[in-house]
Each structure stands twice: as C-alpha cells, then as structure tokens.
C-alpha cells in the first residue's frame, strides 16, 4: 500500500518545517545550549506542523549524534526508530480518546520509570484540550515538577479551552497558517518530486481550498492524483478535472449567480441555483467557495488590483461587495441548522433583487404593453399615467392558504422557538404582495421580535415546509386587536366600583411644585406577556 503524500513528505528536521521559523529558531538554540523545558505547549490550526515539530524535538533531545545547529542527525538508530514509529521512549497519547482521570493516573505511574533507550522519555499529548477537568487536575502537579528524564509536549487547536493552571506551566509556541505563496511553493516541490504535471488553475484550487493548512494541501493533491486514470501517468492534471474530483462548484455558476444578484435579475439567479440543485452540489461547500471568491475580490479592490476572472466584479462598488459578503456569511451560518438548504440560498435573491416578477404578455389583452428598460426585464402595464406591476404568479403565495394552515405553522415553530410561536399565535396573516407576507401584530414589541433575521428565517422555512412556497415576512402593528389577558385578577379589578373622591373646594392646586408624569409601563408589560 502506497504512503499518502502528507506522511511521505512529513518534515524530518527543523529546517524542513515550512513557515514556522519563529519557533524552530528558538527550539534549535535551546537544544544547542541544553536549556530544555520540562513542558511545551504547541498551539495552532490543524495541518500546520505541531505533531511533526513534537516528533522532531523528541529526535533532537535523544539523538546520538545531534548536529551543531540543533537538528537531529536522522541517521542514528534512535532517529530512525522515531521516524519509523517504534521508539519506546516516545509515547503519543490522543486526548480525544484517552481523556479521563484513569488514563492520566496510569501515565503518572509510568513516568517514574527511566528511559529504556534514549536520554529522555517524551510524552506527546495531542488535542490536550479534550481532557476532563479531573484529568487536568491530576496532571497539574506532574506537569509542574516532572522527573528530570521526562519532557511533556502538549498540542492543541483550541488553546482557549485549557485551564490557566496548565498554560502557566508550559512554554507556549503558536503555529501560524501558511500563506498562499508558502502553500504553493510546497505543492510545487512535491509535484516535481512526484513527476506530476498540473495546470496553474488546478494549483490555484488546491491552494485556495487548503486554507493555510499544509497537510490539507497535500491531502487534496493526493485525492486529485488518485482520481486520475492509471494509464498515462504523465497526463497533466487540469483545472476542470480538479474541480470535478474535489466536488467543487463550477466557477461559471458562481459568476452567473453573483452577477445576477448585482444586476437584480431574479430569473438568472434562480436558474443558477436550480443548476446547483440539479448537479447535486453541496450548498455549504458552494457558499464557502463563493465567500472565498468574494474575499479575494475584496482584498484585490483594497489593494488596487483587478480581478478579470470574475467579470461581475468589474464595476461593483465596495458597498455592494460588503453586502454580498454579509449575506453569504449569514447563509453559511443558517445552512448549519436548516432542514431546507436550497431555501437558504434562494432567500439571497429577495435581498438583492426587486419584488417585481417577470411575466409573459397575455395575447388576448389589447392594452398597450411597454417593456421597461429596468435591469430585471420586468414587463410593465401603463394605466392612467401610473406604472403598475403585473403579477402573473399570484398563486405561488396565497393568503387564504396561509390562514388555513396558520395553526399548523405556529405549532411547527414552537419546538424551534417557543416565544416566537406564542407571538404568532396571537397574530394573523392578513395580506400577500408577491412573495411578501404581511403579518398583523398587536404590539410593536411583537413586530421587533418577529422581524428579527433569525425569526424570519424560521417562519419562512416553516411555511415552505407546510405549503411548499418561498416567502418573505413583514409586520404591521394594529393595536386595536390586542389579545385579552386571561387573568382572573383582571376580571376582579375590572369589576371593582370606582369611587370618586371630591377635593375640598377651599383646597387650591399648588402650582409651585413641578409635576412628574408617571411612565405607563402597562403596554410594554402586556406586550411581553400577552398570549404566553
């Protein structure tokens, strides 16, 4: 079985670690001066070289013939044993699988034994943030004052989850993500060693999707190479082939969708999303890919460069670009918790496109038709010098259907947001205008809560599930339809007779004292608790 690329080309000394010179320089000096710490903490994103650094450090402190610059020789028996993974004095522990206090107690019992082969016994605890609080407490004393022959190397991707008591007992080193240039250089070196040919466009895709992780870059290259036919090993890896193997959306779909959103063309935008659905594209991956393109355009515009590969960006202003980025960030978040991913992406269209619908001219009508030069291509009818929009698709969203299913919609909202369900139960759907549903509410407080972005997403998704239609939501306050409070206390207080108390005639109003008007909190309180 062939070795995967990231293991085949794993760094074997400090100089081979890419992009972490600020760490390797310190470690090499410490080894040269024999000023080693008893505990190291390696922090950084996945695939940046934390585990490789830990193993190289274990080699360097145990190497039989270390080099003068602090690197291991990689020739002695100990170095070879560590490289092959059979060195007895290097113990690697996955904290995700061994996170309990029993495992740490067992570790504490074993560390008292002297090294069997090397100078130091090295413990590498990967993903150390996964340990339980009890396990951390059991490790504290040992981590602070371990035996002289023990070195702990802790690695984590989530340093903020570590207790301060652990952090204070370790020398911390932060690994940074690789830049695009560093990732590209690493890939090109390995492509050359593997005698492969790859198009520049395919290389761009690998660099972009590695997101700064060297390991991810090599893993993606591995997938693309394995996806090639066995015959013709010298065949060049193309951009289209890379996109298909990795399951990435086609660039032309991204260009079409973003161009349509900028131009306000709902039809082209819907067609682009439909194409994604037909091709079975992973929508989360598509949104993430689109965000990466928008980020690239933003950086280019801020730097004064052009992006000819994205035609829609030529005349796009910065405000529109920021709006697109925010909209897709929200969509990326919503996709993680929705049961209707396609709806989340379709909801981007009303944000940028006008409400008018594209309609076909009816052949029987003799009224003058006028095709507006509006960018959405909407056909308009001229009546009494006023321009009105013709909506030929009114049956898509029908207020009667919504009213009949309103209780079902409210019941379905309840498990997702109980408070929102209570607000809707005392509100009602009153009007539909195109794809815009107007809900009548008794209080402004309700309006503010229902028109919250997350609330609208829940309502629209639920309506889509019940009726199979997409919509947008707005609210109108009608304080004449406030729900009656069902409190017996209200009934009692209401029936208490009012006794008018007459002021003595001789008592005159003292106007020298300022009057303070008491704030009426009743409406706000009633708004919060009505229907709950």
Length, in residues, of the chain: 532
For residue 172, pLDDT beyond 80:
yes
First to last CA, the chain: 64
383 and 400 fall within a common domain: no
Average pLDDT for 203-219:
89
Structural domain contains residue 510: no
pLDDT given for residue 152 in this prediction: 94
pLDDT given for residue 527 in this prediction: 56
pLDDT given for residue 374 in this prediction: 41
Q: Comparing 17-21, 145-149, 246-250, which segment has the lowest mean pLDDT?
A: 246-250
23 and 103 fall within a common domain: yes
Sorted by sequence, the CB contacts under 8 Å of residue 442 that are 6+ apart come out as 426, 427, 477, 478, 479, 481, 482, 483, 527, 530
Q: For residue 304, what is the domain's CATH number? A: 1.20.272.10
164 and 200 fall within a common domain: no
Structural domain contains residue 331: yes
400 and 388 fall within a common domain: no
Structural domain contains residue 330: yes
For residue 3, pLDDT beyond 80:
no
Give 87-90's long-range contacts (Cβ < 8 A, gap of 24+). Answer: 87/58, 87/62, 87/117, 87/118, 88/116, 88/117, 89/62, 89/115, 89/116, 89/117, 89/118, 89/120, 89/121, 89/122, 90/55, 90/58, 90/121, 90/122, 90/124
CA dist., res. 402 & res. 291, Å (int): 35
Q: For residue 45, what is the domain's CATH number? A: 3.40.50.300
For residue 404, pLDDT beyond 70:
yes
DSSP state at residue 517: P
159 and 184 fall within a common domain: no
444 and 295 fall within a common domain: no
Structural domain contains residue 160: yes
229 and 300 fall within a common domain: no
Q: Bigger pLDDT: 494 or 322?
A: 322
385 and 404 fall within a common domain: no
Question: What domain range is 380 assigned to?
Answer: 354-360+368-392
Q: Which tokens go with 380?
A: 């308009």
For residue 488, pLDDT beyond 50:
no
25 and 92 fall within a common domain: yes
373 and 414 fall within a common domain: no
54 and 168 fall within a common domain: yes
31 and 163 fall within a common domain: yes
| Residue ranges with strand state E in 350-507 | 369-371, 379-383, 386-389, 428-433, 436-441, 472-477
Query: Which conformational region is residue 209 in: left (phi greater than 0), alpha (psi within -120 to 50 degrees), or beta?
Result: alpha
Half-sphere exposure of 301 (CA within 13 A, CB side): 17
Report the domain count for the chain: 5
Structural domain contains residue 226: yes
For residue 507, pLDDT beyond 50:
no
């Amino acid at each position: 079985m062939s070795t995967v690329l990231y293991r085949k080309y794993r760094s074997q000394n400090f100089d081979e670690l890419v992009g972490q010179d600020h760490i390797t320089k310190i470690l090499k000096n410490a080894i040269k001066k024999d000023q080693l710490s008893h505990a190291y903490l390696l922090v950084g994103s996945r695939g940046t070289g934390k585990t490789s650094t830990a193993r190289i450090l274990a080699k360097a402190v145990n190497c039989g013939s270390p080099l003068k610059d602090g690197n291991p020789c990689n020739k002695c028996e100990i170095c070879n044993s560590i490289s092959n993974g059979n060195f007895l004095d290097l113990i690697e522990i996955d904290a995700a699988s061994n996170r309990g206090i029993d495992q740490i107690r067992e570790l504490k019992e074993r560390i008292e034994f002297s090294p069997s082969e090397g100078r130091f016994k090295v413990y590498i605890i990967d993903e150390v943030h996964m340990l339980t609080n009890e396990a951390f407490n059991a490790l504290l004393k040992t981590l602070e004052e371990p035996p002289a022959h023990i070195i702990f190397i802790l690695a984590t991707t989530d340093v903020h989850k570590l207790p301060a008591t652990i952090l204070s007992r370790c020398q911390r080193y932060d690994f940074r993500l690789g830049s695009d240039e560093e990732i590209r250089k690493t890939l090109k070196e390995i492509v050359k060693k593997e005698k492969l040919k790859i198009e520049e466009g395919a290389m761009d895709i690998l660099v972009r999707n590695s997101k700064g992780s060297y390991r991810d870059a090599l893993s993606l290259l591995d997938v693309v190479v394995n996806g090639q036919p066995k015959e013709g090993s010298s065949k060049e890896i193309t951009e289209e082939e890379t996109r298909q193997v990795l399951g990435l959306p086609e660039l032309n779909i991204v260009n079409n969708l973003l161009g349509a959103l900028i131009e306000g063309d709902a039809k082209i935008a819907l067609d682009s999303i439909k194409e994604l659905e037909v091709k079975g594209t992973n929508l989360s991956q598509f949104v993430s890919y689109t965000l990466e393109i928008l980020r690239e355009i933003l950086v280019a515009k801020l730097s004064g460069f052009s992006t000819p590969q994205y035609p829609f960006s030529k005349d796009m202003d910065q405000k529109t670009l920021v709006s697109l980025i925010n909209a897709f960030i929200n969509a990326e978040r919503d996709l993680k918790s929705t049961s209707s991913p396609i709806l989340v992406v379709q909801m981007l269209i009303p944000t940028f496109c006008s409400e008018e619908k594209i309609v076909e001219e009816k052949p029987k009508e003799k009224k003058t038709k006028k095709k507006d030069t509006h960018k959405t291509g909407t056909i308009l009818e001229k009546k009494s010098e006023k321009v009105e929009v013709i909506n030929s698709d009114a049956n898509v969203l029908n207020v009667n259907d919504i009213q009949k299913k309103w209780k079902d919609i409210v019941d379905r909202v309840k498990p997702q947001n109980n408070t929102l369900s209570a607000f809707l139960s005392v509100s009602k759907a009153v009007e539909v205008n195109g794809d815009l549903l107007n809900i009548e509410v008794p209080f402004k407080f309700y309006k503010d809560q229902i028109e919250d972005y997350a609330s609208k997403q829940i309502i629209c998704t639920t309506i889509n599930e019940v009726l199979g239609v997409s919509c947008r939501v707005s609210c109108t306050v009608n304080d004449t339809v406030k729900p009656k409070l069902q409190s017996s206390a209200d009934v009692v207080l209401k029936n208490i007779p009012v006794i008018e108390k007459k002021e003595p005639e001789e008592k005159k109003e003292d106007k020298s004292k300022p009057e303070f008007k008491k704030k009426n909190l009743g409406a706000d309180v009633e708004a919060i608790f009505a229907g709950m």
